[in-house]
Structure 1
Amino acid sequence: MIVTLFLLGHALLLATAGTAALRRAGWPSRAPRLAIAAWLALSASIVGSVILAGLTATTAATRTGSVSGRCYGPMRWPCTPDTFSGAATLAATGAVAALAVAARVLWCLCAAYRATARERRLRLDALALVGRTDTRLGVTVVDHAAPAAYCVPGRHGRIVVTSGALAALDDARLAAVLAHERAHMRQLHHLPLTAAQGLARAFGPLPAFTTARDQIAFLAELAADDAAAKRSGRLTVAEALLALAEVVPAEPMAPALAAGGTATGARARRLITGSRPLGHTRILLGLTAAVAVLTAPPAAAAPALSAAVAACCGSSPTTATQPGHVLCRPGCAHPAA
């Protein structure tokens, strides 16, 4: 049970103090792509810890309890309980909880990706009807007075610019906007955005996952701003953002990513004042920390789970002097491999 308590404490610590510390940290704006990885690692580690806690609770209960059982064949897991004690009840609860959380996460992630893919197809079908291709710029132009630019990511993605944006932006600012949208598509920002949306959907209003969703949406815009600034300059990108700021921003998890979307004023200030990127050493340390947070739960649970598998799925028979797994009564022979 020590491992189970460690995993639950790990999940609780990340969901509370870890989320608050990462949200308040100053370095994510200096390394937005690293920060996106950090938020994904934190969210995945919380989910993984809860699932593994259920599994380790199951193995701990079945190894320490006392439950009579009988054998079945030809399954590798040889015995199941005839009667339920407190240990068996705890084991069943842990297994059901782990399965429920895993199924919920998988279902919501698949639903989120299906929904965004469907929305992208609808947008592309609409653009085929109302848009026209500008081969010089490599974009789709839609006649609309409001200045706006966004990309529809994916395999058949495209960048969309309104006629109002073409009229409002000079060549330099338009190039900055297009560089921003191409960065969204090249860096595949829609994938972590959709994953964050799926986790937020799976766990409802829990602050850890809603905060991760909102932060990843904002960091994706910062990463695209930085990529555009390398080509067009920080001030030019800031001017282009402010020119598009009057457009009502899209939802953070919409299948289209807009240049004038999330927190335009804060992004423009960041570009104007400048932010020194993190050095390679700090980025490497950050990646190491993210990997450590992600791998800590499976590393902690591995010994307990492997011991349970070895006890119940071994090929040697269980005898009265060597009780083996608690779900197998003395003398219950394990089936052959």
Structure 2
Amino acid sequence: MTSCLLLLCALGLAAAVPVARALNRATWPEQAPVLGLWVWQCLVATALLSCLTALVLGSAAGFRTLRDHLFGSAPPAVVAAYQLSSAPAWTMALTLLMAAGAAWTAAALVGQLHAVRRVRGAARARLRERAPELPAGLAADHGPLLVLEEEYPDAWRMPGSPSRLVVTTAALHRLTDRQLDAVLTHERGHARARHDWLLCLSIALAGAFPKVPLFTHFCEQTHRLVELAADDTAARQCGHVTTALALVELNQHRGAFSHPSSRRLLDERVNRLLTPPPPFRPRERTLIATAAALAPLLPLLITFAPGIGALE
């Protein structure tokens, strides 16, 4: 069992630091942002599963009741292979550390969910008070749409049930019909892919563990890649140039007042739309997606390896 715990800790540490930093420096996710999001999610799942399986093994070694519950129906050879009764003393300290991390993670996720629900509820209430009557024809064309009287052009999606697309009157006046379609298609792309939940998860993990490179990079890259993925959705339906022009029109008024990171992301998005990167070949995409999907299985393989070996 000691070797399993060490391997699980090494795997989780590798995913959390060097692999995360390498993936953060990679440029290929710009070519396939949906694939990049998938790889980041699989890497996070690998690290979390490594910690969770280490916690289970350590708890089984330290608490006889849990050990009997987990291994009560297992053959004696399997129980002997894990050597749970002879685990060293440091495994209990590691188990307590893992348990504290698991509790902290759960608390962060629950807290983030409550905060998101509270903020969304307040925002939806404010929007309902300010929204005028919907212009004729827009509801039939674009579904649940909320038009807000505002002097600056903007459009966004208000998550919730039901989900709402919000667009300002200035955007309706400034954007052409084709550009408005691109903006709304972009926001519907966020809705279909459930990007709000992915962002919520990344923010919660980064807030709970701000010093862990995996979670901080996951949060940063998630905010970036979800926008690139939604841009691709809009560009496929409405055209790359139209989508780029719509982005410029919506953000022109912000100028120097926007955050430097927001300006850099906007520049990247517009340049990427005007000069699309070469797409991945299907074979490359399949290999990367498959390798990423197999990564979370490594902690399970390490955990079950002694038992499987004992049965052979």
TM value normalised by structure 1: 0.76
The residue that corresponds to 2:115 in the other structure is: 115
- Distance change >3 Å, CA 191–CA 278, structure 1 → 2: same
Whole-Å Cα distance in 2 between the matches of residues 237 and 16 of structure 1?
36
Whole-Å Cα distance in 2 between the matches of residues 116 and 261 of structure 1?
25
Post-superposition shift, 1:57?
4.4
- Distance change >3 Å, CA 20–CA 149, structure 1 → 2: same
The residue that corresponds to 1:38 in the other structure is: 39
The residue that corresponds to 2:8 in the other structure is: 7
The residue that corresponds to 1:209 in the other structure is: 215
Cα offsets for 1:177-211 (capped at 9, x unmatched): 11111111111111111111111122123222111
The residue that corresponds to 1:137 in the other structure is: 138
Matched, 1:265 2:267: yes
SS at match of 1:263: helix
Cα offsets for 1:67-108 (capped at 9, x unmatched): xx9x98xx8589xxxxxx995643432332232222222221
Whole-Å Cα distance in 2 between the matches of residues 270 and 170 of structure 1?
21
Whole-Å Cα distance in 1 between the matches of residues 102 and 70 of structure 2?
21
Q: Which moved more, 1:91-100 or 1:299-308?
A: 299-308
| Contact 2:21–2:217 under 8 Å retained in 1 | no
Post-superposition shift, 1:2?
1.7
Cα offsets for 1:97-144 (capped at 9, x unmatched): 232222222221122122212222221111111013345223211111
Whole-Å Cα distance in 2 between the matches of residues 217 and 15 of structure 1?
19
Amino acid at match of 1:232: C
Whole-Å Cα distance in 2 between the matches of residues 77 and 143 of structure 1?
60
Whole-Å Cα distance in 1 between the matches of residues 309 and 89 of structure 2?
20
Alignment RMSD: 3.1
The residue that corresponds to 1:166 in the other structure is: 172
SS at match of 1:146: coil
Whole-Å Cα distance in 2 between the matches of residues 97 and 307 of structure 1?
29
The residue that corresponds to 1:226 in the other structure is: 232
The residue that corresponds to 1:319 in the other structure is: none
Aligned residues: percent identity?
Answer: 31
Show the 5 A alignment for 1:47-86: 47-57=48-58, 76=69
Whole-Å Cα distance in 1 between the matches of residues 23 and 302 of structure 2?
23
Question: Stretches of 4+ moved more than 3 A in 1?
Answer: 54-59, 75-78, 85-89, 246-250, 303-308
The residue that corresponds to 1:178 in the other structure is: 184
Whole-Å Cα distance in 2 between the matches of residues 226 and 158 of structure 1?
21
- Distance change >3 Å, CA 262–CA 212, structure 1 → 2: farther
TM value normalised by structure 2: 0.81
Whole-Å Cα distance in 1 between the matches of residues 87 and 12 of structure 2?
24
Relative to total residues, which structure has the larger helix share, 1 or 2?
2
Whole-Å Cα distance in 1 between the matches of residues 304 and 108 of structure 2?
27
Cα offsets for 1:4-32 (capped at 9, x unmatched): 22112212222222112211222211111
For structure 1, the residue ranges without an aligned partner over 5 or more in a row are 63-68, 79-84, 253-259, 311-337
Q: Number of residues paired by the alignment?
A: 286
Post-superposition shift, 1:237?
0.3
